[in-house]
Amino acid sequence: VAAQFQFHDNVLHAEQVPLTALAERFGTPLYVYSRRALRDAWQAYADAVRDRDVVVCFGMKANSNLAVLNEFKNLGSGFDIVSGGELARALAIGADPAKIVFSGVGKQEWEMRAALQAGIKCFNVESEAELERLAEVAAQMGTIARVSLRVNPDVDAHTHPYISTGLKENKFGIAIEEAPKVYQRAQQLNSLKIVGVDCHIGSQLTEVSPYLDALEKLINLIDQLADLGITIEHLDLGGGIGIRYVDETPLTPTQLLDAVFERLNARGYGKLQIVLEPGRSLVGNAGVLLTTVEFLKHNEAKNFAVVDAAMNDLLRPTLYEAWHSVEQVVKPASDTPVRQYDVVGPICESGDWLARDRQLALRQGDLLAIMSAGAYAFTMSSQYNTRPRPAEVMVDGTDIHLVRPRETLESLFSSELTLP
């Protein structure tokens, strides 16, 4: 169980608040976040940074609720955005554009314009075509775009293939061998200013070695660029630090930054600014998804707990066969039979499951907490089956803040039009 989600008197709490009280007040399915957990996760980065020149840009695709963004902004975070929509969220909470980096393989012109208008720190450019488009858009606006090239260092991050992004066969980035040529092209474009080198090798990483493999190649590239008269201000190592879903022991921000600076110092780049784009490690274990058991169903092969949350609320199990721990919010009475259950949602798809083969002692009406649901959970939700998305609540000690109400049924189709 995550640090800010603990049992007291046999009831699972978020900080000081029993999850039963939240389910009663707001209904289920319900996302519950812990403000303390956000702060603690941020502090782990702050402790790792110390007095070194590091800009931490929260990868907000992991959780873009404004309350979460605002909390991180107040703690000093910048933001890694991947769309005009995410830029709008960042600006809505008054984020400092000088700490916004813009990643993504398919930036549209309007998104480039909006980001240039805002005056962001850096575009992480992923192809030559994007470089040309960005130069054009900036020139039209009479401004200068600050750019890094996202290079693909071709290292194996040892993680799930869907979230491993640093290998040659991925759609991301520019092959590292091609990079000097593309940097030289960037240098010819007056509306661009080269400021950095960028990579992101994958997500849910548990070891430091893939980062160091990538770093080694990036430093070699920076040396090569220097020979071409191109100097950079920062090196962006992306996100990727994993969290504990089951029994993983992921690397810590301190382990990462100590190792990175040791290597940088050894190569004479100890003063280079480092940018990080952590997503999951800042929010993953700061949230749970509360859900109620609607029915228990037993057939010859299986026991099913049909719950009121589904793949539209939490897609990770369906999409990645991701394992999320399931806690019974109220510890079961000893006479409730323990069975092996699949925890499934009400959606009309066999893939609609949240957990499989779990030993649980369930009764109809029981409340379950799907753990580690702070990252890539609500942000990947949909309204499939015309299901309103859950409410989101932030707990702060004994305080309870509704940070997004449950969607109303009407809002799901009120903008649609029938034919005349």
Instruction: List residues near ligand LLP by CB under 6 A.
Output: 59, 62, 80, 103, 163, 200, 203-204, 238-241, 277-281, 316, 320, 376
What gap in Å lies between CA 119 and CA 91, rounded to an integer? 11
Neighbours of 352 (CB within 10 A): 20
Tell me whether residue 320 is annotated as binding.
Answer: yes
Tell me whether residue 240 is annotated as binding.
Answer: yes
By beta-carbon proximity to ligand LLP, the closer residue of 191 and 318 is: 318
Tell me whether residue 279 is annotated as binding.
Answer: yes
By beta-carbon proximity to ligand LLP, the closer residue of 196 and 366 is: 196
Token output for 299: 């057939």
What gap in Å lies between CA 324 and CA 254, rounded to an integer? 26
By beta-carbon proximity to ligand LLP, the closer residue of 284 and 329 is: 284
Which of the residues 57, 122, 199, 348 is marked catalytic? 348
Tell me the torsion sign for CA atoms 115, 116, 119, 122: positive
Tell me whether residue 316 is annotated as binding.
Answer: yes
By beta-carbon proximity to ligand LLP, the closer residue of 210 and 278 is: 278
In the bound complex, what is the minimum distance in angstroms from residue 31's beta carbon to ligand LLP?
Answer: 15
Tell me whether residue 416 is annotated as binding.
Answer: no
In the bound complex, what is the minimum distance in angstroms from residue 316's beta carbon to ligand LLP?
Answer: 5
Partnered with residue 195 across adjacent β-strands are none
What gap in Å lies between CA 76 and CA 183, rounded to an integer? 31
Q: How many residues does the chain have?
A: 420
Rg (the chain; Cα; Å): 23
Catalytic residue check, 57: no
In the bound complex, what is the minimum distance in angstroms from residue 159's beta carbon to ligand LLP?
Answer: 9
Longest CA–CA span in the chain (Å) reads 75
Strands (E), 267-336: 273-276, 287-298, 303-307, 326-328
In the bound complex, what is the minimum distance in angstroms from residue 58's beta carbon to ligand LLP?
Answer: 9
Neighbours of 379 (CB within 10 A): 16
Report, as residue numbers or ranges, the catalytic residues: 348
Which residues are annotated as part of the binding site for pyridoxal 5'-phosphate? 240, 277-280, 376
Which residues are annotated as part of the binding site for substrate? 280, 316, 320, 349, 376
Which residues are annotated as part of the binding site? 240, 277-280, 316, 320, 349, 376
